[in-house]
Every structure is written in C-alpha cells, then in structure tokens.
Amino acid sequence: MNAEKIKSLWLKKNEDRRLHAGHSWVFSNEVDTHRRGLEHYEAGDTVIVRSDRDKFIGYAMINPHSLICARLLSHQEDHPPSAQWLHDRVWQAHRLRQSLGFEAHYRMIFGESDHLPGVIADRYGDVVILQLATAWMENHRAELVSALRSIDGIKTVVLKNDSRARSAEGLEAYVEVVEGTMPEFLTVLEDDRVFEIELKHAQKTGWFYDQRFNRQQFLPLIKSTGEALDVCCYAGGWAVALARRGFNVSAVDSSGHALAQAKANGERNGVSIAAMEGDAFEVLQGLVSQGRRFDAIVVDPPAFIQRRKDEHAGFAAYRKLNQLAVQLLTPQGFIISCSCSFHLPAELFPPILARAAQFSARSLQIIASGGQSPDHPVHPAIPETRYLKALLAAGSPEV
C-alpha cells in the first residue's frame, strides 16, 4: 500500500487526546469536516488520521456511515497496513495464547485488544469461527483467512458474519465456509468436560469461552451437594460443571435448542440436566411461587444494556432477575451473578445484588469477583474491551 495515495482524515482541535492516550476509535463528530467531509471517503478504505495541526497520528480504517467512523490500525508512519501487517498481528495474538497455555479451544483474536479492530476468532480444535464487524476487515478477509491457515493445526475457517454489529457498518449478514468443510457441530474441551454445539443454532461465535476462568475460580469454593439452578444456560457450560461437582441441576433457557444441547452435553459428560424452557423472569417467578429453593444458582443472562440509552431498563432487569434468584436461594446457598453489558460499570454491579437481597430481607457476602478469561485480554486504554463482570456471593439467613 502506497502511503502517498492514502487520503487524510483531519480531527478537530483537541480531539486527538484520547487517541494519544491509547484508544483507537474516532467518532464522526470529532472529524474536521470543513477540511474534508466524510462523504469523500469510502467504507473500508485506509486513511491517515491527522491532528488539527496536520500531525500524523496513525493509519485507520474508515466507514463514513458509522458513528465510530474510524478505527486506528497502526501508529507506524513508515509501515502502512498490509497483508504482512495482518499476518503479523494474527500471529502475535496466537503467540500470546500459546504463552498463556491455551492449546486448541479458546478465543484466538479479541478485536481491539489484539489490535485487530472488528475481528473475533474462536478456535475449536482444527476449526476457526471468524467474525468480521468492520468493512475494512471484510475487504481483507482473504488475508486474514490466509494468516489463520498458516497456524499449525487449523484446517477449517468459517465466516459466521451474522452479528448485529455488522448492520452498523452497512454490511450484510452471511455464514460461509472459506476453508475446509462446513462442520455440523463444534466441539469444545473445557478442563475435564467436553461439549458440542450445533453450528446452525449457535449463538455468536458458538461458545462463551469468556466464562471458563470464572468456572475454574468459583466452583471449587462452593459446597458440591444439593440443588442447583443455571439461569440462561445456553449449551450447559455452567450446568454441566455444577452437575459434575455433584449437584442436581435444573437449567433454564428461552431456547428449546439451547436446552436440548445442554441436556445432550450433560449426557456426554455422564450427568443429567433437568430442562425448564421459558422466559427466565417467568420461570423464576413460578419457582418462587412453588416455594422451590436451590443451594447454588447461576444467573448469566444476555446483555440487558446494549446501548447507553438502555441503561435504566437494563439496570431494572438485572435487579429483578437477581431479586428472583435470591428469593430462591437457601440460607447458606451461593449465587454466581454475571453481566456482559459494558454499559454496566463494574462498581455498580455489587449494589444491584445488594438491592436484590434487601428486597428479600436477606444479605449476601461477596466471596470472589471475576471477569473474562485471559484469552479475552483487556486493552488498558479501551474500557470497551472490559465487559464481563461476575460475582460469587454467599447467602445468609434472613436479617
């Protein structure tokens, strides 16, 4: 790529501060459109981001139709992004996971945290599920696939480009195998447990690898007998782990496909999972009415706050769901409560549990807190890369 032919994108005065601090996003209202309007750029192009004083800041991908109109790719003026640049970034991400001990089942690429904006890649043995959320990465998908295929052991690459984020970039949704043969099932190995996910019914990229570290840290702290409830169970990650520790587990999900997979994964691991299909709030309210009680409860819902304007309703939803869960908890039971909403700050999550307990005249003691697994690294200057919150709390008798 010839840097002399790359268009420049100028920022307004002082709008480069966040970028100099390490963030990589440029919002459309930060662009000096008097120098060059956004209509002069094509989605997926490479641009040079410059300060109001014409100082080079970095190379970026651009989409003039998106609120996040540019995402920085590189700060090296003499080395504009290229196929080799993409190859090197993919291998940097791969080597990090290798150094952390991940072998064949893990998140390979985590977007901005791996300096590959808009790219998510999960590995399932010799299969990689790749998701591209930006026009620039869509334009360079062949180079990305080539880089992934150069990693030993990878034979199949599936583009599962059906995420909601693509619509913000004006990209169509599709699922396509670009290397190898389209798999019917994805196999996951997590510690001593094995799971299978039917690809056509898979959520996001198939498996929630981000919870693995929390399961490893939390479950050994919980007394492993009695009744357990996994709310929003998906394919049974928490449910199977609880059952393998000795609990009688009931799993709740609104998706019949998810529950069928959770039950099948239980059988695959030598345990039985009881399924409860329905809306989580309604199912839990019904269990409260029945006087049911559980010794361990996992609350791991989808993101209730996907946009800032959803905050009020989202906070109320988290509070209500946890409130119902606490009512179902035995006096000395344990609750694991999670949120994958970036817009729910970590410091506001414990007060949600406190209010949920207060409603039931109960108190909780937070035993441990967690976040996303190490294969989902956090970029210290991009708070959006830190999204998962998880709390392990012990119940107490009514107060």
Assign residue 292 the CATH number of its domain.
Answer: 3.40.50.150
Scan for tokens 């501060």, then name that residue.
17
What is the C-alpha separation between 52 and 50, in angstroms, rounded?
7
pTM, full prediction: 0.93
- Provide the β-strand partners of residue 27: 68
Strands 45-50, 7-10: parallel, antiparallel or unpaired by DSSP? parallel
Q: Which of 69, 232, 233, 340 is catalytic?
A: 340
Domain carrying residue 156: 83-183
Contact 34, 49 (CB under 8 A): no
Average pLDDT score over residue span 170-179: 94
CB within 8 Å of 193: residues ≥ 6 apart: 240, 241, 244, 269
Q: For residue 333, count other CB atoms closer than 10 A to its CB.
A: 24
Residue-level pLDDT at 393: 97
CB within 8 Å of 192: residues ≥ 6 apart: 244
Same domain, 235 and 378: yes
Q: Would you say residue 209 lies in a domain? A: yes
Q: What is the pLDDT of residues 203-254, one digit of tens each?
A: 999 999 999 999 999 999 998 789 999 999 999 999 999 999 999 999 999 9
Contact 217, 291 (CB under 8 A): no
Q: Would you say residue 195 lies in a domain? A: no
Q: Where are the beta strands (DSSP E) in the chain?
A: 7-10, 25-27, 45-50, 56-62, 68-74, 105-110, 119-124, 127-132, 156-161, 174-179, 185-190, 193-198, 227-231, 248-253, 273-277, 294-299, 329-339, 364-370, 389-395
Number of domains comprising the chain? 3
Residue-level pLDDT at 2: 63
Residue-level pLDDT at 71: 97
Q: Would you say residue 9 lies in a domain? A: yes
Q: Would you say residue 188 lies in a domain? A: no
Residue-level pLDDT at 397: 64
Catalytic site includes residue 340 = yes
The residue out of 183, 208, 238 marking a domain boundary is 183
What six digits make up the tokens of 282?
């309604």
What six digits make up the tokens of 31?
């662009």
